[in-house]
Amino acid sequence: MKEKKSPASKIVSAIGVVLCVVFGLMLLFNLTIIVKGLINSSVPPSVFGITPLVVKSGSMSSDVQHSIYRSQLVDITDEQAAALKPGDVVYTVVGDYKVANRIMSVNAADTEDPFYLVERPAKDHIEVGDLIFSKKTDPADVKVGDVISFMENSSVVTHRVIGVNNENGQLSFATKGDANNAEDSDPVPADKLVGVYKARIPALGDFIYFLQKPLGMALFIGIPVLTFIIYDIIRRSRSAKKEDNKTEELEKELERLRALAKEQEAKQKGDSPKED
């Protein structure tokens, strides 16, 4: 009869299975990225059309403060401008893209062209150390305001599209980092497009980058998997030992019963009447 597992043993086994699946998927993901990167090092590797990227630059950060002037503001009257205070949102234009700016302070408000210290709290901002995901997209579907990842020499840059140009059938994009003071000097040809930014996981990029290195894979994938394998071997060994002990006990009990049966048989023969 098979021994029933205790609730604690079932929980430990379930946790072990979940960890194996999670670490196995992480290992498969990392190996896929590494192999694809080795096969074609000129473009970042992708999985199912999604390219994971580790952010190393703060060019799309929302924490950088900027100075703007009254003459740069759009969609605002002189009366409204005169009443601006910290916390108000004003708009400027970069290329064909309208930028939202939150005023942090008003400086020299009584001058002809006062300037303001502002932040640009874009909902799709990207910070250093983030892990971001860019989806492969038809260049014709890219529009002003999208954040795109593109190849610049041997590096991948992720900036916002502030203009779309289509001269003589040659599609290209004017781009700018939200935290940069000036737009990018060169337009991005359509064939350099990696994808359109879709999501980010804050602060996970550096960890993933470390995981792709041999030491990281050994520490966070190899060791947990190895630990579970060792645990499973020990668990199976203990289970086998218990089965062996039970078998030994059964054999001893069987020998005892056989001896008892022989003793009873001999006793019966000794008590039987003798013929004259």
Domains of the chain (ranges; CATH) run 7-59+125-215 (2.10.109.10), 66-119 (no CATH)
Residue 77: the pLDDT is: 92
Measured CA to CA, the distance from residue 212 to residue 76 in angstroms comes to 50
The DSSP output letter for 204 is -
What confidence tier does 6 reach under pLDDT thresholds 50, 70, 90? low
Average pLDDT over residues 225-249: 81
Lowest mean pLDDT across 81-85, 86-90, 251-255: 251-255
Sequence-distant (≥ 6) Cβ neighbours of residue 186 within 8 angstroms: none
Average pLDDT over residues 122-146: 94
Q: Is the pLDDT of residue 74 over 80?
A: yes
- Residue for token pair 């350099």: 192
Measured CA to CA, the distance from residue 31 to residue 39 in angstroms comes to 12
Residue 207: the pLDDT is: 77
Q: Is the pLDDT of residue 209 over 70?
A: yes
> What is the separation, in whole angstroms, between the first and last Cα of the chain?
53
More confident residue, 217 or 134: 134
Q: Give me the amino acid identity at 55.
A: V
Does the CA dihedral 107-109-76-185 come out positive or negative? Answer: negative
* Alpha-helical regions (H) of 7-151: 7-39, 78-82
* pTM for the predicted model, two decimal places: 0.68
Specify which of 26-35, 89-98, 113-122, 217-226 reaches the highest per-range mean pLDDT: 89-98
Q: Is the pLDDT of residue 230 over 60?
A: yes
What confidence tier does 1 reach under pLDDT thresholds 50, 70, 90? very low
Average pLDDT over residues 8-31: 70
Lowest mean pLDDT across 26-30, 195-199, 271-275: 271-275
Lowest mean pLDDT across 37-41, 79-83, 250-254: 37-41
Q: Give me the amino acid identity at 195.
A: G
